[in-house]
Amino acid sequence: MKLKTVILAGTALAFAGSSALATDLTLVSWGGAYQASQKAAYADPYTADNPDITVIWDESSAEAVAKLRAMNEAGNITWDLVDVVASDAIRLCDEGLALEIDPDTDLAAAPDGTPASEDFGDLLVSECFIPQIVYSTTFGYRSDVADWGGKEPDDICDVFDLEAFPGKRSLEKRPINNMEWALLCDGVAKEEVYDVLETEEGQDRAFAKLDTIKDNVVWWSAGAETPQLLADSEVVIGSTYNGRLFALIEEQKQPVKMLWDAQVFDLDGWIIPAGLPEDRLAEVKKFVKYATDTQRLADQAKYISYGPARKSSAPLVGKHASLGIDMAPHMPTDPENAKNTFLYNYEWWADYRDDIDAKFQAWLAQ
């Protein structure tokens, strides 16, 4: 008798679960402060206007390509909108896993009537990509390290200088950016980095440079790790996305400072998975149009220090929502911060990613 009740209750719960999914909008993002800014700037106002829609967040952007491929194979797409970096968007578009969009019909025009394709301009790096922000991968360091004798790093190569700046570093567990920084600090000119990296000797050279600090590196795979490691003093200097460091410095008031030298610009935005049924696609497109209009993109900058991808949003960027400080000086694109930037070559990495990744992982394991 009891067993029967349990079964009934279980089945009831299960059905409650599956029927709830019908009006859900599943957004895939990165978690942490970034996802929170998206929630505050787009999702919350949108659900306030459309109470029948529930937004479910899935923090799977790091595995987005793999999971989309699995869903595609099964012919069962459970995601509605996926936040990915530009290089993943290019890959997904190449493989036919993302939907191609027409910026001028699918995205809202600027308030002055400028069509979206012009407003986003060069940032539309793929037919499937809907840019949201310009961010940069850069370093943060603790400003209270006793061993440094009052010195503070101001050059990218200080990351590789264990004598002047001893302590643990955190770097991303992938070759992209790390290889370029290593070569820059091994004396390669900025314009020649990718030419050098294309050769076997160039790759060995980058690994040799990384070898000098390998024993002192903690490798991260999620953007929230470096801020946590810095806050806990587990590392003294580490790379991550600039917005994460902003949250750590300005919101959590940790003794951490930014090292903007040789920051690497990158883009982040939405893709719509290919193969959504018509009714869901219509819902998603409605949300995308809303979430990427000029005002919404400018609003996001109130919560996190990433530059809006629309030209028309830039003048609307104001003060931080709760801290009340001006956001402009914290943007990676601010002239003071962008004195020395490094351009990330999508095309090159799309071609060499598999190859160098294999070597990098082998190097890491040894």
Partner 1 sequence: MSALPPYASPLQRTWYYSFRIICGLIFFFLIFPILVILPLSFNAQDFFTFTKEMLALDPAGYSFKHYQDFFTNPDWQQALTNSVMIAPVATVLATSFGTLAAIGLSQSHVPYKPAIMAVLISPMIVPLIISAAGMYFFYSRIGLQGTYWGVVLAHAALGTPFVIITVTATLVGFDRSLVRAAANLGANPVTTFFKVQMPLIVPGVVSGALFAFITSFDEVVVVLFLGSAGQKTLPWQMFTGLREQISPTILAVASLMVAISICLLTVLELLRRRSERLRGLSPG
Partner 2 sequence: MSDTTQDGQLLTTADGKPLKASLAKALRREKLRALMLIAPLLIFVLITFVAPIADMLFRSVENGIVADTLPKTVVALEAWDSTSGEAPDETVFAALYEDMVIAVDEKTHTRLGSRLNYEESGISSLFRKTGRRIKRMDEAGPFKEQFLDADKDWGTVETWQVLKRYSPRITSGYFLNSFDAQLTADGVEMKPEDERIYMFLFGRTLFLSIVITISCLLLGYPIAFLLAALPLRTSNLLMILVLLPFWTSLLVRTSAWKVLLQQQGVINDFLVWTGLISEAGRLVMINNQTGTIIAMTHILLPFMILPLYSVMKTISPTYVRAAKSLGANDWISFWRVYFPQSVPGIGAGAVLVFILSIGYYITPELVGGTSGIFISNRIAYHISSSLNWGLAAALGTLLLVAVMVLFVVYDKIVGIDNVKLG
Residues that bind partner 2 (CB under 8 A): 62-63, 65-67, 69, 91, 94-96, 147, 173, 204, 218-219, 232-234, 350-355, 357-359, 361-366
Residue 91: CB minimum distance to partner 2, A: 8
Q: Is 325 in the site for partner 1 (CB under 8 A)?
A: no
Q: Is 28 in the site for partner 1 (CB under 8 A)?
A: yes
Q: What is the dihedral of CA 155, 267, 356, 183, to 10 degrees?
A: -20
Question: Residues in contact with partner 1, total (CB under 8 A)?
Answer: 37
Closer CB to partner 1, 32 or 202, in the complex: 32
Closer CB to partner 2, 102 or 198, in the complex: 198
Give the integer Cα–Cα distance in Å for 179 and 223. Answer: 18
Contact status, residue 157 vs residue 241, Cβ threshold 8 Å:
no
Q: Is 56 in the site for partner 1 (CB under 8 A)?
A: yes
> Over 297-342, what HEC string results?
HHHHCCCCCCEECCHHHHHHCCECCCCCCECHHHCCCCCCCCCCEE
CB-based burial label for 49 (10 Å; 0-12, 13-18, 19+): exposed
Closer CB to partner 2, 173 or 286, in the complex: 173
Number of neighbours of residue 224 by Cβ within 10 angstroms: 19
Q: Is 18 in the site for partner 1 (CB under 8 A)?
A: yes
Give the integer Cα–Cα distance in Å for 102 and 109. Answer: 12
The entry of partner 2, partner 1, none that residue 355 binds, CB within 5 to 8 Å by partner kind: partner 2
Q: Is 49 in the site for partner 1 (CB under 8 A)?
A: no
Contact status, residue 41 vs residue 299, Cβ threshold 8 Å:
yes
Please give the residue ranges that form the binding site for partner 1 (CB under 8 A).
3, 6-7, 9-11, 13-14, 17-18, 21, 24, 26, 28, 31-32, 56-60, 67, 70-71, 73-76, 78-79, 221-225, 228, 232
